Amino acid sequence: MSQSSEAPIVELDGLSVGFGDKTVIDGVDLQLRPREIFGVVGETGAGKSVLARAIIGLLPTGGRVLAGQVRYRGQPVSTMGPEDARAFRGGKVALIGTNAKALLDPVARVGDQIARVVRSHERLDKRAATARAVALMREIGINDPERRARAYPHELSGGMAQRIVIAMALAGNPDVLLADDATLGLDATVQAQVLESLVERSRERGLSVLLVTHDLGIVRHYCDRVAVMKAGRLVEVGDVEPFLAAPANPYSRELLDAARARPTLQRPLAEDDRPPLVSVRDLTMHFAVPGSVEPIRAVDGVSFSIAAGETLALVGESGSGKTTAGQCLMRLLDNTDGRIIFNGRDITDLRENAFRPLRRNMQMVFQEPYVALNPRWRVRDLLAEPMALIEPMTSAERARRVAELLEAVHLPTALAEARPHELTAGEQKRVGVARALATKPSFIVFDEPTTALDIRVRAQIIDLIRGLQSQMNLAALFITHDLNSVRSLAHRVAVMHLGKIVEQGSTEAIFERAEHPYTRKLLAAELPVDCEPLPPGDIAA
């Protein structure tokens, strides 16, 4: 696959980049060859995005090149004049960023935005540029591009917006694409489709692509060569196949092992006659839409039950209503219809004051770790707050319990004095878990506990939850779209699609013998690091 004979298009020669007195990229040598797809993997903070930005000459404020240089076809990028540099950006090398919706101008139609890029690189009249924009949108796989071109960014889905950004990147006919975690935050099925079209177009046009990601599955499926980045250095560079078979560097091996971990499936609990701990019948949550008679049916007649000590995974794409269902269970939302029975008691119509004593038995771990912690509070106070639900205790007892909780989630007790923004994402997640454990509940709703975390941190959080489950005989509703964590944590799985549960069964049954087409589609969208090679196109189906 490698074309080592040809001269590299982009060449990094001992590049170092610093912010203030911190070195973020430390002597990176890298050659991007013609027509190759090159993956850069690493964890958050490894400097991957800064690397992509350094190549295109757009370092974030405060960043500067300390040593080395970037060469495009032999010419150092830093010697270009302002006009050449402008033509170079977008015309020769284009950057595709994360979070497409934020990258688009909210008040301009997307077709016009693409046309603007076309016209900044080519002398064309408006009409011709718009025609080119529509052609680009069709090329990148947007249905009915003429109509979509007139849409504003907020009218598009995340996947569609990402395609628009890719079309904009292609508009200047570059020969190098830098994709900086371009599919982060998209659903697995959408991610596969978007990546598929990105890679297909690039191969057709003979582009070189630098694919920055933290997902080794993406590397395995789309890249020719790969570099592993850690703390600003490239620790390993090589062809993908040999790399996956035998990584040379211990850190690469660690990453691969974490991504490969395929734990044994949880076995379903033995059947018994005891009533379930949590039982939900025909749960319905409709949201009224201003100016419309039709409500949004976020949750539309969902039934499931969870026994003591059992974990049910609720999987589905974003917008399928799984988080809403979890919030109804916690009485954070007033469900429109249906019954929720907890521990033999109907809690559906309980008022907050009557329900509060029950909260000690059911807790929730929130999706985004940072925003679910009050930014002004110290960890100690965040952990102590739910203890008021148990019984009055002295401040010494409370301090001891806080220390115990921190220990239970494997955090140093010194963190008790920290504020949320001083913690890493993994630590924030652990604080969220510790907080839910503070009252020793019998049931916890985990809302996406593993998303937006690096591979190794994700594995640690899964281990943590798994340990807690067995120690505390905890029942859990596990809301996620990360199928790998479902394998390791759930006894049973319910698949949710457009507000309804389309399939429900033991974890083994769902993963081995899925019946519903939607479940199969969901399973197929996973990009495992190891599996038999799939014929291209099959994934996106």
Return residues touching another protein (CB under 8 A).
19-20, 22, 24, 44-45, 47, 49-50, 60-63, 327, 330, 332, 352, 356, 359-360, 363-364, 366-368, 370-376, 385-386, 388-389, 419-421, 423-425, 432, 435-436, 438-439
Rank residues 172 and 432 by Cβ distance to another protein and give the closer one: 432
Rank residues 127 and 351 by Cβ distance to another protein and give the closer one: 351
The distance of closest approach from Cβ of residue 191 to another protein in the complex, given in angstroms and rounded to an integer, is 20
Residue 219 near residue 180, CB atoms below 8 Å: no
Q: What is the CA radius of gyration of the chain?
A: 25
The distance of closest approach from Cβ of residue 371 to another protein in the complex, given in angstroms and rounded to an integer, is 5
* Torsional class of 282: left (φ above 0), alpha (ψ -120 to 50), beta (otherwise): left
The pair of three-digit structure tokens given for residue 337, joined into one six-digit string: 């219809």
The distance of closest approach from Cβ of residue 441 to another protein in the complex, given in angstroms and rounded to an integer, is 10
Rank residues 21 and 273 by Cβ distance to another protein and give the closer one: 21
The distance of closest approach from Cβ of residue 48 to another protein in the complex, given in angstroms and rounded to an integer, is 9
Residue 181 near residue 163, CB atoms below 8 Å: no
Residue 457 near residue 164, CB atoms below 8 Å: no
Could you give the 3-state DSSP secondary structure of residue 458? helix
Longest distance between any two alpha carbons in the chain, whole Å: 78
Nearest C-alpha neighbor of 96 from the set 17, 210, 204: 210
The distance of closest approach from Cβ of residue 375 to another protein in the complex, given in angstroms and rounded to an integer, is 5
- CA distance linking residue 298 with residue 275, whole number of Å: 28
Q: Could you count the other beta carbons within 10 Å of the beta carbon of residue 180?
A: 21
The distance of closest approach from Cβ of residue 198 to another protein in the complex, given in angstroms and rounded to an integer, is 22
Rank residues 92 and 380 by Cβ distance to another protein and give the closer one: 380
The distance of closest approach from Cβ of residue 422 to another protein in the complex, given in angstroms and rounded to an integer, is 8
Site of tokens 């947007």: 142
The distance of closest approach from Cβ of residue 365 to another protein in the complex, given in angstroms and rounded to an integer, is 9
Quick one: CA torsion of 103, 109, 111, 117, rounded to 10 degrees?
-50
- CA distance linking residue 514 with residue 14, whole number of Å: 50
Rank residues 274 and 376 by Cβ distance to another protein and give the closer one: 376
Angle between helices 455-472 and 250-260 (to 10 degrees): 50
Rank residues 11 and 180 by Cβ distance to another protein and give the closer one: 180
Residue 70 near residue 12, CB atoms below 8 Å: yes
The pair of three-digit structure tokens given for residue 230, joined into one six-digit string: 């850690």
Rank residues 195 and 364 by Cβ distance to another protein and give the closer one: 364
Nearest C-alpha neighbor of 421 from the set 369, 375, 385: 375
Rank residues 61 and 470 by Cβ distance to another protein and give the closer one: 61
Rank residues 45 and 263 by Cβ distance to another protein and give the closer one: 45
The distance of closest approach from Cβ of residue 179 to another protein in the complex, given in angstroms and rounded to an integer, is 16
